[in-house]
Amino acid sequence: MNLLLVAHGTRDPAGAHVTEAVAAQVRELLPDVEVAVAYADVRGPTIASALAALPDGPCVAVPMFLAAGYHVRVDVPEQLRGSAAHLAETFGPDPMLVAAAAERLVAAGYRSGDAVVLAVAGSSDPAAAADSATAARRLGRILGGPVSLATIAAGGPRVPDVVARLRDGGAARVAVASWLLAPGLFQGRLDSCGASVVAAPIGTHPAVAALVAARYRAVLQVAA
């Protein structure tokens, strides 16, 4: 069964590079599977064109989204309508990715005792907001302390405001964990948020490709 990775899409070439690099990692994990990449918005190939370019036969579409917002619940299913694709579970706040975000934070210079903020893209969708809150709680359990949730673009308090509030509350250092998959405009905004430490996005961490493979295999088990 073919595999289609569905990412959000970005105008930043670095973001597309990450998606293609993850696809290459997935091909190593699933060497007998035809793997292609599509984008739900902003850039091509579209889902329809990527499906048309794959070999004939059924396909598993794996949405590479960290929260179950509009694209996951409405847009991607609509773009897949009428195709032979099986829609896999999205990434969401999967523990594998939360652990990867924690590793990125430690690599950026996080110290035990730092006040921690999880920076998410943000959404007005309640399901997406719930997923982000779950990710923050799971990150807190890994780090052994509270994690404040802040948004980069929509819904909830913004990252610079939360960083400033923590500093005003007495935090000597504030570390920001990135709940983003790829570099781009949103990650760039974190660089000027006033934090002591800003982690890189999850990017090509091996957990991403491993989760894609797991989502793919889960569909195969159901379809068998």
Same domain, 137 and 107: yes
Same domain, 110 and 85: no
Same domain, 87 and 7: yes
**DSSP SS3 for 117:** strand
Same domain, 88 and 147: no
Q: pLDDT per residue over 117-149, tens digit each? A: 999 999 888 888 999 999 999 999 999 999 999
Q: Quick one: average pLDDT of 214-221?
A: 96
Q: pLDDT per residue over 43-87, tens digit each? A: 779 999 999 999 988 999 999 999 876 667 777 888 888 888 999
pLDDT at 4 over 70: yes
Task: Supply the pTM of this predicted model.
Answer: 0.93
The CATH number that applies at residue 160 is: 3.40.50.1400
Burial 121-143 (b: 16+ CB within 10 A, else e): bbbebeebbebbbbbbebbbebb
Same domain, 7 and 83: yes
Same domain, 76 and 141: no
Number of domains in the chain: 2
pLDDT at 101 over 80: yes
Q: What is the pLDDT of residue 12?
A: 79
Tokens of 143: 């780090």
Q: What is the pLDDT of residue 70?
A: 67
Q: What is the pLDDT of residue 223?
A: 73
Q: What is the pLDDT of residue 176?
A: 98
Same domain, 185 and 122: yes
Rounded Cα distance between 176 and 129, Å, is: 18
Amino acid identity of residue 169, one-letter, is: G
Same domain, 170 and 134: yes
Q: What is the pLDDT of residue 84?
A: 82
Same domain, 181 and 208: no
Expressed as residue numbers, the domain containing 208 is: 2-92+204-223
Q: pLDDT per residue over 167-205, tens digit each? A: 999 999 999 999 999 988 899 999 999 999 999 999 999
Tokens of 189: 């905004």
Same domain, 77 and 135: no
Q: What is the pLDDT of residue 79?
A: 84
Same domain, 15 and 55: yes
Same domain, 105 and 179: yes
Bridge partners of residue 38, in order along the sequence: 6
Judge whether 198 and 102 are in contact, CB under 8 Å: no
Q: Quick one: average pLDDT of 153-166?
A: 94
Q: What is the pLDDT of residue 197?
A: 97
